[in-house]
Each structure stands twice: as structure tokens, then as C-alpha cells.
Structure 1
């Protein structure tokens, strides 16, 4: 029995190591090749650089117009996430505290919308926003609010099911109105779920290329993923600069994830329907 348990343990460890290698392998290729010249990348993609160079990074930084692209990405990501967290947490709070068919139907609509692929609605969505002259930054943030609301409401609703209504009643007896109950009692208790919503959506918005490419049409508003397209011309592809730019672009979101990762698992478990 002991031997079988050890064999299972070693088997899980080996499987974990194998999955880790498979998961980290693309990152290895990106980082290693970002220090190579364009010619060396095509000679041997898998090896370490024979003569590593840092010249790709300042050139990619300049070509990306990184400061402006970074600011655009930050504005879109932060404002979109703020709108999602405020609107969906209030919506989930209202739905969780009102028992009835209407609330159940609205929650069901939010949940079922998670199954709708964006590709099936992107053309009519962009056409409608374009007809109202609501493209570029403002339109993109509103679209993100709509597209990100389903999962956020689902997570918040599940977390709120674990918060007893007696807290609301006690606060109301003490003189709080509904908004004050939400602001000072409920919202702080939803911190793990809020952090989970922030991280999941930040990764999506920061790395998204498809939707911004359909909505943003002004040069000064381009995000980092859109500026990355600069390295892939019709007749040439500057892989050495693209990979360096990719490393520069993913550093901010990795830093955010590292600071907030301890809340993610708790937030997702709290968001499960209890």
C-alpha cells in the first residue's frame, strides 16, 4: 500500500513537471529569441543565442511608441474593469437579495450569455456602435462592460449567496439605506471575488487584439497589441523586434498577476454557487 501511494505521488509529480514544461515552453521561445538577431532566429529557433543582444528592446520600445500605447492600454483596461466591478456587483447584489421569477430569469440570462461566442456577434455589434458614432476608446470600454458582465455577475452572485441577509437587516436597523449596506458592508466582503474579476478581465483586455482592431481607427489611440502589428508588414516580418516587444508588453500584466494571485483561487471558490 505504501509503495503504491509513493508510486502515485511520483507519478503526479512527473505529470506536473511535464505539464509545466509544456506550459512554459512558449514563454521560453519568446524570451530566448528576443535576444537574437533576425538571422539567428531563423537559423536555430530552439537554441540559446550564440551572441545575445539587447538592441532589440530599445528598438522595439521606440517602434511601439510604448509610452503612448501603454497609456492607452492602461486607460481602457482600468476604466473598463472599474465599470464592470461597480455595475455587476450592484446587479448581483440586487438579484441575490430579491427572490422571485424575475430575478431568476435575469440571472439566467446573464449566465447563458457566457455561452455566446464573441465572433458570432462582433459584426452587428461594431455596426451598431458605428452607426451611433461610438467607436474608438469610449465605445470599446462600453463593449467590454457588456461582454465582461456575464462572468462577473455569475461570480458575484455566487459569493453573495454565502453572505447572510441578516447582515443587511442589522445594518438597515442601525439606520443604513440599501446603498450604504452595499458600500460599507457587502462590497468589502466581496474583495476576493472583486480581485478575481479584476485579474481575469485585466488579462483579457490587456492582451486583446481582435475587438480593438475592429473598433479603434485613430492612430493616437492604439493599444499595445494593435501596435504590435507594426512588426508584420506585407513583405517582411521583424520577428526579433516583435518578440522583444511581446516581452515588454506582457511584463505589466504579469506584475499585476503576481501581486493579486493569492486572491484568485479564493475568489473563484467564493463565486461558486453555494
Structure 2
């Protein structure tokens, strides 16, 4: 009994050490974003002192980053991509669960196997095909995200739908519902916990993605926040005060979203396992 508090204290200390390790880069970026270039080179680890403290870094970085347009581009691509992924993969998973054939089993394992294919092995043929179709634009990018996000989403929905009794659907069909009505009015509302999880996971992935937008989007007016931040950081790499302020501005939206959504991720996973 006496050893338990000591053991708990050890875990607390270990957790605190790991937290400090993970938070150290954020601390360095944040404090230096308020300093002048001279203040950064004089003391990169210390808090900004009055002679070298400034808010102008954020004002200038916000303007040069064209943050409003980049934010709206990221928002458009993320919202539409995630919405299409949720609708199509929930339907696909439902049909795979309810259709007991060899083909449904084959398709399920095909979705599972697709998770193992690295993006780098298909990115050049994909860009070549989409270029011939004239879809190297945000609309084409949305459909690409549907393809890459389907595997994990179908797997998550598939495991959740298996625990929904088929008798609910049979009763709805007896009452006069067609297959589409059964899905939208009976099944889809029951998928709310796992839908929230799928929405959040895909939102964080698509919002932070850099490689696919870099290959697809070739006009400055279409740049997402990660893509704009890449060019911005390259342009201002010698002006660390502006570059670090730009990094903080770029990180703020997804950090706020994560803190709001983290409880829904846990809730969706736990409800899906208990249901």
C-alpha cells in the first residue's frame, strides 16, 4: 500500500517530463514570435524583454500570409472533403455489412488493404490522370481526398454498423420505407458517435495536409494554409521573427479545433466499442 503513492509519483514525473519535451518546440516558437530579430539572437530561450518585445510581427505576418484567403481555401477543401467522405463511406460500409456475399467480403478486404498503400507510390500517376481530366484544382483535390480517406472511414463505420440490429431496418421496410429512406432516417442517425469521430479525424488530416495540395494546386489564389506557410517560411527564413509569427498564426485554427473536438473523439470511440 505504501509503494503505490511512490509509483504514482514516478508516473506523474515521467508524464511531466514527456509533456515538457513535447511542448518545448511550441514554447520556443511562441516566445520568439514576439521578439525582434535582435532579441531572438541575443536570447532565444528567454521570455521577450521590453526593448525587444513587439506585436508588429503578427500584423505583418498576417498581411503577408494572406491569412483570410488561405483560411477560406483550407476551410472549403476540408469541409467539402470531409462531408463527401462521411456520406459515401457510411453508405458503403452499411452495404458491405448488410450484403452477405463473397464480393462484399472481397471489397471490405480491398478497403483494408488500401490503408497499407503508401501515398508516394501512387501520387505521380494520380496527378498525371487528374491533369488529363482537368481536375488539378480544389474540386479535384476534394475527390482525391475522398479516395484516400475512404479506407479508414469505411473500416470505422463497418465495425460500428455491425452492432446495429438488422431488425430495425426490416421494421422500417415493412412500414413502407425504401432502402435510401432506411439509411437516412434509421441508420445514419444511429451513426452519430462514430460519424463525429470520422469527421474529426479526417478534418485534422486534411487541414494539415501539405503534400497533396502542393502537387495539385498550382495557383497562388488557391493555396491552403500549410501550402501558403511553406512559401511564406521560405521567403522569410532569414527573418525569423516574421516566420515564427506566421507559424503561430497557421497553428491557431487547428489547435482550437482540437481542444474543442478531443472529447468527442474519445466519446465516439468508447460508444462505438460498447454499443
Give the distance between the partners of 2:119 and 2:273, measured in 1 at CA: 24
Q: Is residue 2:37 matched to residue 1:38?
A: yes
Q: Is residue 2:238 matched to residue 1:216?
A: no
Per the normalisation by structure 1, the TM-score is: 0.92
Alignment of 1:173-188 (within 5 A): 173-188=174-189
Per the normalisation by structure 2, the TM-score is: 0.92
Q: Secondary structure at the match of 1:249?
A: helix
Give the distance between the partners of 1:229 and 1:238, measured in 2 at CA: 14
Report the more deviating stretch, 4-13 or 215-224: 4-13
Q: Secondary structure at the match of 2:176?
A: coil
Q: Is residue 2:31 matched to residue 1:29?
A: no
Q: CA RMSD, aligned part only?
A: 2.0
Residue aligning to 2:227: 226
Residue aligning to 2:8: 9
CA displacement, residues 29-53 of structure 1 (integer Å, 9 cap, x when unaligned):
2211211122332333222112321
TM-superposed CA distance for 1:151, in Å, is: 0.6
Task: Structure 2: give runs of 5+ residues left out of the alignment.
Answer: none
TM-superposed CA distance for 1:201, in Å, is: 1.3
Report the more deviating stretch, 117-126 or 246-255: 246-255
Report the more deviating stretch, 53-62 or 235-244: 235-244
CA contact (8 A) 1:231 1:237 kept: no
Q: Secondary structure at the match of 2:2?
A: helix
Report the more deviating stretch, 112-121 or 238-247: 238-247
Residue aligning to 1:138: 139
- List structure 1 segments (4+ residues) > 6 angstroms apart after TM superposition: none
TM-superposed CA distance for 1:272, in Å, is: 6.1
Report the more deviating stretch, 84-93 or 177-186: 177-186
Task: Structure 1: give runs of 5+ residues left out of the alignment.
Answer: none
Residue aligning to 1:149: 150
Residue aligning to 2:242: 241
Residue aligning to 1:102: 103
CA displacement, residues 126-165 of structure 1 (integer Å, 9 cap, x when unaligned):
1111122210211111111111111111111111111111
TM-superposed CA distance for 1:259, in Å, is: 2.5
CA contact (8 A) 1:159 1:270 kept: no
CA displacement, residues 178-209 of structure 1 (integer Å, 9 cap, x when unaligned):
21121112111111211111111111111211
Structure 1 residues 236 and 81, CA gap change in structure 2 (3 angstroms):
closer
TM-superposed CA distance for 1:234, in Å, is: 6.9
Structure 1 residues 272 and 125, CA gap change in structure 2 (3 angstroms):
farther
Give the distance between the partners of 1:3 and 1:175, measured in 2 at CA: 66
Structure 1 residues 234 and 59, CA gap change in structure 2 (3 angstroms):
closer
TM-superposed CA distance for 1:5, in Å, is: 2.3
CA displacement, residues 3-22 of structure 1 (integer Å, 9 cap, x when unaligned):
23223222222222222222
Give the distance between the partners of 2:236 and 2:68, measured in 1 at CA: 27
Residue aligning to 2:168: 167
Structure 1 residues 186 and 147, CA gap change in structure 2 (3 angstroms):
same
